[in-house]
Structure 1
């Protein structure tokens, strides 16, 4: 089920009150589990009203950081500060219900024996029964499911259950909404629509939102800012454009796109790679570097390129083709992702070119490698 977010916003702006967005700050957060450090000194702020995505692979600490913000987990060191007030620190620990935070779980956690309306009003214990029912109905109207108030969760689709969970999290009008992999259980065909609708609802509610995901594209679609995590550390934070165009290291570059990776050594302020020579003026001669080139930045043409190559295999993927190419001086194939109608069907010998600005150079942390 979908709905027009603009018209829905006009209908619900009077019926459902908006939240007062909070600022949530992690200050030098550390966390350990059974003696293993899972969060290693993360400092990060979610600004009022923004959507901040915590992005990273499994085990990077995303969900743990979210649970620390919610008060479900306790950090071993550092502070959680909400609107300038310490919520968790050396001498203070506010329980979850005192933090003004809404939490939306990955599995939605709906009560199967309760109606949709009762699920949404479950946490509104500070209100009278009449007020709680009115607030729950307003939240359901906001997500376009007011007409399902009397139904039970099993009668709803996955996307509709996701919206009920969102309505329940928004009903108390939290200053911060925490969402743990909210779209992971949805059919891939529905994700784009559900994500867009959810983002529209978040904008209308005005709450600060922190969303956990392992999907870089999903983060780029939703976030005002992205915080990329790895092994419990913050790798880089910024806008989608900043992380994609100026990745801080090889891990960040590879997380946002498929890359060809080469090793090289700086000589005379430059690095020679199988795909061209690139400047490295900020690195000293003899430095060992990792070089990355995105598959989409490898231009393939019958002739006119600066590098000769032979097609080892090509895979048709609809709009694009994925090519494996043999290039002189490299045992592993160079991969390229090109428009599907760019090359004749039976061509084998081609040429390549890569713009120097599309070759990313990173100094290796371990210079003995």
Structure 2
């Protein structure tokens, strides 16, 4: 198998891992003001701390998948990386800023004693979770469906250049893709909260997951069907899309039965199959052009498009690195999930006495 194809598969695996794991992180962050609302100020603070506690040991490790996917793209497909950041610069900048603000919210929320301090950082977490959940869907919708690319000549030789603007990316298909990932991550996050908590928070999360999950399933079916049609109705992509739909429905059924473990597995597999279907729709290209077929970035050396991969020597070195370090990353992340596998309740939260007084001070 060509090393360019191998690295296309590896990058797909990295993005699948990122969306499956960081997806429920985003969901928990967005649900903070909804499921975190309690009977009074003290109960509200306890519920929010329980929710943040479910992802506290994991969120920064989950972002490793994004960093690795970006680094792998740069190392294996420099033309793809350059064109992507050229055309999607503002959108990716918004994602980066949102992730930074979100990380600050996690780190600094507990370092102040006033209610206003916590509210401000809660808002940072919510916005920092909402924007990436929306914009990643917009970005991948454009990557898979195609963008206006053109071959240009520079002093360094031939290259591919994006010919649109930010508003080119905000088309109906892409916006529906953003809504799809947003709702899917909300469902994924709500079920994760139900899996990792007990008491009222668990019950409320399970109820909300059932409601949001129906909307998520409807939007996902419409968007993935639309995307399959745009990309040429590839049989493998249709099969994996069907598996995504079945997994999501199964997850919602198990959620209704109170089987949160199987419900989470369902949304996890739904995310896995949905992202996998997108890469199947994309292959063998990595970034199709709607303007000039010759500008389509592809993994095929002798194809009609623009070969996007780096040299075989570079890909060979990176393959050895990946074989060594990928199992290590998977191993330590699996270990952290095993160590922090128990459920949390508001009774596990340290004393929050004085919260009521500080709220009214």
- TM-score (normalizing by structure 2): 0.24
Larger RCO of the pair (alpha carbons < 8 Å, separation 6+): 2
Q: Greater CA radius of gyration, 1 or 2?
A: 1
